[in-house]
Amino acid sequence: MKSISKRGKKKKMALQLTSLLDMFTIILVFLMVSFQAEDMDFVMHPGIALPVSTVKNPFKTGVNMAITSGKVLIEGKQVYQLSKGGKVKESDFEAGKIDSVVQAVEAAWKLHKREKDEEDIVVIQADQTLPYKTLHLLMRSAAHAGVFRFRLVVEKE
């Protein structure tokens, strides 16, 4: 930027960038700390409050199952409606599985295996208030689809 000084000479005016640079440096350091190099094929469901845990295991991808207080989603698609308080229908509980969940997990796992060559794992993100009865029935349903291993998603302490 150029301006004319009092004496009529053209004088170059430098823009003061030091403070801006300081701010950028702080932001850069903060972002580098929170940088996640791993590519996580995981979308956090907005209606879920995850429980807090001290575990520090690395994230591993698999078939995504999200359990909110009102519905069950496999790979983002709703497959089952839960009643108030995250409860399952008594008929499903007596049957020991939820057919729609079995089919959805089976289809998703086959797709994962074909496209990504992943291990048979179901990644469960469940609301912290969910009763164990529901969680266990959904895990059993996944087991009916041939997947016995699970990863419970938690928020790091």
The binding track of 70-109 with respect to another protein, each residue x by CB under 8 A or -, is: ----------------------------------------
CA 12 to chain centre: 52
Number of residues near another protein (by CB under 8 A): 51
> Quick check: 5 binds another protein (CB under 8 A)?
no
In this chain, which of 7, 32, 91, 117 binds another protein, going by CB under 8 A?
Answer: 32
Pick from 41, 99, 119, 155 the residue near another protein by CB under 8 A.
Answer: 155
Among 8, 35, 76, 114, binds another protein (CB under 8 A): 35
**Which of residues 89 and 151 has its CB atom nearest to another protein in the complex?**
151
Q: Which two tokens mark 134?
A: 């529901």
> CA-to-CA distance for 134 and 18, rounded, in angstroms?
57
Query: Do residues 74 and 63 touch, judged by C-beta distance below 8 A?
Result: yes
Closest CA relative to residue 70, chosen from 154, 28, 130? 130
CA 140 – CA 150 distance, rounded (Å): 11
Q: How far apart are CA 120 and CA 72, in angstroms?
A: 19
Told to check if 1 binds another protein by CB under 8 A, we report no
| Footprint of another protein on 37-66 (CB under 8 A) | 37, 42, 44, 50-60
CA dihedral (36, 110, 96, 85) in degrees, to 10, reads: 40
Residues 124-143, mask of contacts with another protein (x by CB under 8 A): --xxxxxxxx-xx--xx--x
CA distance 77 to 21: 45
Q: Which residues bind another protein (CB under 8 A)?
A: 14, 17-18, 20-21, 24-25, 27-28, 31-32, 34-37, 42, 44, 50-60, 123, 126-133, 135-136, 139-140, 143, 148-156
